[in-house]
C-alpha cells in the first residue's frame, strides 16, 4: 500500500503544481502578448522561467501524515471495525482447521486407510477455502484502505505544495519507505514537515481528534493484524526553520 500512496502522491502533487501555475497572475494576461508586451521584451514563459525557485529540500512521510491525521485515524478505525466480523469468521475457520490437523496427527495410526484419506481431504478442502477467503478479505480491505488514503491525500497534496512554494522549497521527498527501498538515506528532523502538515490539515478538515485512549489507526491486514507501523512522529511540531 505504501507504494500505491507514493505513486498517487507523485501524480497528485504534480497536478497541484500545474493548478498553482495556472492560478499565477501571469496566467491572466492577454492571450496576445504583442498587445501588452513592449518590443524586444522577453516572453511571459521566459520571464516565468527566469523567476528564482526555492532551493531548500524538505521531507514528509506521506503514509504517516495520512494515518495520523484526525480524519485518517477516524476513517481507518471505522474500516477496522467494519472488518471485525470477517476477522472473527476467518479465525473460526483457522481454529477448525487446526483442530482437524491435531486430530489427524493424534489418530492417524489408529485410522484405517479410508478414514485417514477422508480426514486428509477434509483438511485440504477447508485449507484451500480458508486461503481463498483470506486472500479475498485482504484484497478487499487493502482496496478500501487505499481508497481512504487516496481521498485524504487528494485534499492534503495542495496544502503541501502551497507550503513548499511559500517557504522556498525546491523539493519535498517522501520518506514513507526507508532506504534502500526509498530515496532518502538520511535526514534530520529540522527538514521534516510531516507533523506541521498533519496539524495544518487537521485544522483545515475540521475533524475532531479521536477519543483519548482509543487505539491509533494502523495500515494493517484484516487477518493477521500486522503491517507497516507509521514512523515515529518528528520531535518538533512547529514548521521547519526558514
Note the pLDDT tens digit of each residue in 154-195: 999 999 999 999 999 999 999 999 889 888 999 999 999 999
The ranges assigned to domains in the chain are: 2-205
Q: How far is CA 188 from CA 43, 60, 86, 192, in A?
A: 41, 11, 42, 7
Burial of 102 (0-12, 13-18, 19+ CB in 10 A): exposed
- Kindly write down the DSSP assignment for every residue of 53-89, as one continuous string: ---EEEEE-HHHHHHHSHHHHHHHHHHHHHTHHHHHH
* Structure letter (DSSP) for residue 227: B
pLDDT of residue 54: 78
Alpha carbons 230 and 228: distance in angstroms, whole number = 6
pLDDT at 9: 54
pLDDT of residue 129: 96
- pLDDT for 155: 96
Give burial (CB, 10 Å; 0-12/13-18/19+) of 13: buried
Low-confidence stretches of the chain (pLDDT < 50) are 2, 11-12, 14-52, 219-237
* pLDDT of 111: 84
pLDDT value of residue 227 = 34
Amino acid at each position: 500500500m505504501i507504494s500505491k500512496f507514493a505513486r498517487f502522491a507523485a501524480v497528485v502533487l504534480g497536478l497541484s503544481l500545474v493548478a498553482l501555475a495556472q492560478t499565477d497572475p501571469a496566467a491572466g494576461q492577454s492571450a496576445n502578448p504583442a498587445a501588452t508586451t513592449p518590443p524586444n521584451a522577453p516572453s511571459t514563459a521566459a520571464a516565468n522561467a527566469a523567476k528564482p525557485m526555492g532551493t531548500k529540500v524538505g521531507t514528509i512521510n506521506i503514509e504517516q501524515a495520512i494515518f495520523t491525521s484526525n480524519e485518517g485515524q477516524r476513517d481507518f478505525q471505522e474500516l477496522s471495525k467494519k472488518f471485525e466480523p470477517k476477522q472473527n469468521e476467518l479465525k473460526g475457520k483457522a481454529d477448525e482447521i487446526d483442530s482437524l490437523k491435531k486430530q489427524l496427527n493424534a489418530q492417524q495410526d489408529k485410522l484405517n486407510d479410508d478414514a485417514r484419506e477422508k480426514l486428509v481431504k477434509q483438511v485440504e478442502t477447508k485449507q484451500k477455502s480458508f486461503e481463498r477467503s483470506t486472500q479475498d478479505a485482504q484484497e478487499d480491505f487493502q482496496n478500501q484502505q487505499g481508497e481512504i488514503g487516496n481521498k485524504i491525500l487528494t485534499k492534503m497534496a495542495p496544502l503541501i505544495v502551497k507550503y513548499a512554494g511559500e517557504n522556498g522549497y525546491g523539493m519535498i521527498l517522501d520518506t514513507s519507505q526507508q532506504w534502500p527501498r526509498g530515496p532518502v538515506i538520511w535526514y534530520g528532523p529540522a527538514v521534516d514537515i510531516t507533523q506541521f502538515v498533519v496539524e495544518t490539515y487537521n485544522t483545515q478538515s475540521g475533524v475532531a481528534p479521536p477519543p483519548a485512549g482509543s487505539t491509533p489507526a494502523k495500515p494493517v491486514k484484516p487477518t493477521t493484524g500486522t503491517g507497516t507501523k507509521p514512523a515515529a512522529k518528528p520531535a518538533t511540531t512547529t514548521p521547519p526553520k526558514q
